[in-house]
């Protein structure tokens, strides 16, 4: 199989396409014929040498979609459409930048869709993060049990805004290169505004938001905390800025009075099959959109990483493998 191999942290030119022997799955594993995968900031962090716990050489990629090529345990049938994400991909075993990837059964999510592979490849990690943080995850401890508060989604695109749309108001603060289309899908019933000031609460939410999702990183975290009301919750779960460490952190001085700071980092368990299927059905019906910046081919992986590192993308960057052309999606 062809795979993208990184020998050590380096520039995009270090991403090498090589022929590797295909994995033979053991019981409890699934071999997936990869059709497409989205690019994620954590892969950029690994390539830049900013991530810990990664050994080299390594095939990058924390998510992928495709069809089951083999499943010794019988949990999934051959040819079934599946997504996989997180769960040790890249850190403990090779990831999805390849024609095939072998992963544990527990991190495989089945679905049925006639959407094109590029659209499908953009979704797993993006949807998992928004679903895990917003309805049942780290932002769920709200002062208002009915969920009738105001949410600040800082640096997040359409998926996060759509997950928050079940609440009274979701306020979207897009950032340059955030990986999601600014403003998202305006057909959804949630209010989103673009802010240009450093302190969103000062002009738009004088009393502060009830919950905030921070995906830009530590440079904007103080402003996000300042935009949150007393007893509100800020969930830190992304580092679009490539900065996630607060130097000389003194909690009493750093945290506003009564504002709770938490964090989120999980995996495929936070993307139930019914959630993925429901979102795919909404996209197919025209009720939701998937913001894609550009679709690359596997042999264009270097160009794709250059685009991700530049921060110029206004949507998800997706890479298709040759299997995306030879395998048609079937509902």
pLDDT, one tens digit per residue, over 124-153 is: 998 988 787 765 445 554 444 444 456 666
Q: Does domain 138-263 have CATH number 3.40.640.10?
A: no
For tokens 């197919």, the residue is 284
For 39-48, the pLDDT digits (tens) are 998 899 999 9
Adjacency order of strands within the sheet including 260-263: 169-173, 150-154, 209-214, 228-236, 260-263
CA 15 to chain centre: 21
Q: What CATH class does 2-126+267-326 carry?
A: alpha beta
pLDDT at 72: 97
Q: Do domains 2-126+267-326 and 138-263 have the same CATH topology?
A: yes
Distance of CA 278 to the CA centre of its chain: 17
Q: What is residue 205's three-state secondary structure?
A: coil
pLDDT tens digit sequence for 46-91: 999 988 889 999 999 999 999 999 999 999 999 999 999 998 999 8
Q: How far apart are CA 60 and CA 18, in angstroms?
A: 13
- Omega into 156 within 30° of 0, i.e. cis? no
> What are the boundaries of each domain within the chain?
2-126+267-326, 138-263
The pLDDT of residue 166 is above 50: no
CA distances, 37 to each of 95, 120, 182, 213, 245 (Å): 10, 8, 22, 24, 28
Structure tokens at 178: 């955030």
String of b and e for 198-216 (b: at least 16 CB within 10 Å)?
A: eebbeebbeebbbbbbbbb
Tell me the CA distances in angstroms from 195 to 165, 172, 191, one per residue in order: 19, 9, 13
The CA distance from 263 to 137, in Å, is: 10
Tokens 């780290």 map to which residue? 138
Stretch (H or E) spanning 130:
helix 124-133
Phi and psi of 230, rounded to 5°? Answer: -60, 135
Mean pLDDT in residue range 300-315: 92
Q: Which two tokens stand for residue 263?
A: 């964090």
d(CA 153, CA 160) in angstroms, rounded, equals 7
Helix H, strand E, coil C: the string for 263-321 is ECCCCHHHCCHHHHHHHHHHHHCCCCCCCEEEEEEHHHHHHHHHHHHHCCCCCEEEEEC
The answer to whether residues 99 and 33 touch, using CB atoms and an 8 Å cutoff, is yes
pLDDT of the residue at 181: 34
Type and span of the H or E element at 133: helix 124-133
pLDDT at 238 > cutoff 60: yes
Q: What percent of the chain has pLDDT over 90?
A: 53
pLDDT band at 37 (very low <50, low <70, confident <90, very high): very high
User: Taking all residues of the chain, what is their mean pLDDT, rounded to a whole number?
Assistant: 81
Q: Which two tokens stand for residue 173?
A: 């603060």
Look at residue 244 in the predicted model and tell me its pLDDT: 72
Q: What is the mean pLDDT of residues 22-41?
A: 96
């Amino acid at each position: 199989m062809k795979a993208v191999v990184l020998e050590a942290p380096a520039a995009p030119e270090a991403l090498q396409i090589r022929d590797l022997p295909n994995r033979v799955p053991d019981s409890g594993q699934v071999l997936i014929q990869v059709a497409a995968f989205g690019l994620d900031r954590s892969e950029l962090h690994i390539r830049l040498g900013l991530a810990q716990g990664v050994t080299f050489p390594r095939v990058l990629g924390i998510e992928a979609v495709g069809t089951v090529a083999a499943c010794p345990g019988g949990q999934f049938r051959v040819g079934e459409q599946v997504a996989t994400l997180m769960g040790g991909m890249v850190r403990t075993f090779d990831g999805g930048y390849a024609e095939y990837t072998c992963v544990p059964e527990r991190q495989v999510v089945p679905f049925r869709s006639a959407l094109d592979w590029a659209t499908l490849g953009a979704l797993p990690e993006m949807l998992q993060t928004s679903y895990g943080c917003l309805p049942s995850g780290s932002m769920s401890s709200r002062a208002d049990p009915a969920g009738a508060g105001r949410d600040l989604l800082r640096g997040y695109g359409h998926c996060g805004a759509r997950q928050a749309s079940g609440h009274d108001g979701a306020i979207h603060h897009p950032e340059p290169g955030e990986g999601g289309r600014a403003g998202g899908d305006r057909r959804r019933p949630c209010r989103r505004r673009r802010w240009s000031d450093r302190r969103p609460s000062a002009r738009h939410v004088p009393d502060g938001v009830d919950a905030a999702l921070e995906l830009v990183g530590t440079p904007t975290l103080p402003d996000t905390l300042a935009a949150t009301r007393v007893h509100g919750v800020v969930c830190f779960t992304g580092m679009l800025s490539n900065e996630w460490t607060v130097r000389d952190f003194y909690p009493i001085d750093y945290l506003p009075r009564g504002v709770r700071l938490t964090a989120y980092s999980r995996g495929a368990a936070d993307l139930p099959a019914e959630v993925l299927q429901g979102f795919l059905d909404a996209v197919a019906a025209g009720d939701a959109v998937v913001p894609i910046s550009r679709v690359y081919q596997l042999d264009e992986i270097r160009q794709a990483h250059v685009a991700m590192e530049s921060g110029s993308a206004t949507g998800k960057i997706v890479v298709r493998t040759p299997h995306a052309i030879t395998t048609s999606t079937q509902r």
